[in-house]
Amino acid sequence: MITKGGKYIDATFGGGGHSQEIMNQLEGGKLFAFDRDPDAVDNAINDKRFTLFNADYRYIKNYLRLHNAIPCDGILADLGISSHQIDDPGRGFSTRYDGELDMRMDHRAEVSAADIINNYPASELTSLFRTYGEIKNSYRLAETIVHARAGKSIKTTTDLKTIAVSCAPRGQENKYLARVFQAIRIEVNKELESLELFLQKSLEVLKPGGRMVVISYHSLEDRLVKNFFKSGNTQGIQEQDFYGNVTAGIHAVNRKPLVAGKEELDRNPRSRSAKLRIGEKDQT
């Protein structure tokens, strides 16, 4: 529920859909949004109550402090990549299109997917695919990539797909490619590192009783969010006071994540993997 005069944060602005819904319910309040993608600036809402920061949400506390927006009433984060990023072949995020092997959410960043694929040694590629893609034959995939790039550079998404599909289990090619692309994208954008920092700083800017809503799209993200709402840290280690009470500073509102129903899936197939969790900052 939105307090009409409250201060809210859309930590992943994207196309601005979530922000617009929040704005529709505000009266004298404020909405601050974050997005590291410079293209998101084109979607900024022309309203004096709205402020968009073209920055990584890991810096949420720094920016809100500068604008006297601490504490805030609520925070929303819709993780992953936005639809306009997926649907732009030039960004290199999707397995469906042929495009430059980029995958940078902020195209001003120095390291692209092509840099990683063409320069990381086999050992680092193996670790990357195992950790961020949960790919069982990550060593074979890494060796196949290293062998292929010895002949010529891997420059496009099609180049990578052609190489990776040769390592995929029969009948699971699409799922396998999705995991490969996910692993590289996470490494390019340091997504899990940003998420951990964002969660930690969000608890510091949220007012007691304020709520935080996070939508995740794969198990690595969801595990961090679940642990954080359970223990106040992304490792899931619960600390207790002298009396044995858990001192997380935040607690989960919904024990199990909310998932899309049939109607939403029919309208938006990309919501199939989405999991929504709600955390509330403790009053004391």
Which tens digits make up the pLDDT trace of 12-68?
A: 999 999 999 999 999 989 999 999 999 999 999 999 999 999 999 999 999 999 999
pTM value is 0.93
pLDDT tens per residue across span 188-216: 999 999 999 999 999 999 999 999 999 99
**Topology annotation, domain 88-189:** DNA polymerase; domain 1 (1.10.150)
Q: Which sequence spans correspond to the domains of the chain?
A: 7-83+191-281, 88-189
Percent of the chain whose pLDDT exceeds 90: 81
Q: What's the one-letter identity of residue 258?
A: L
CATH superfamily of 7-83+191-281: Vaccinia Virus protein VP39 (3.40.50.150)
Cβ(111)–Cβ(242) below 8 Å = no
Q: What is the rounded average pLDDT for all residues in the chain?
A: 94
Cβ–Cβ < 8 Å for 96, 30 = no
Instruction: Say how far apart CA 209 and CA 236 lie, in whole Å.
Output: 21
Cα separation, 235 vs 227, whole angstroms? 6
Residue 102 carries which DSSP code? -
CA–CA separation, 166 and 243 (whole Å): 57
Instruction: Please give the pLDDT value at position 242.
Output: 66
CA distance 265 to 55: 31
* Same topology between domain 7-83+191-281 and domain 88-189: no
- Enter the DSSP assignment of 240: B
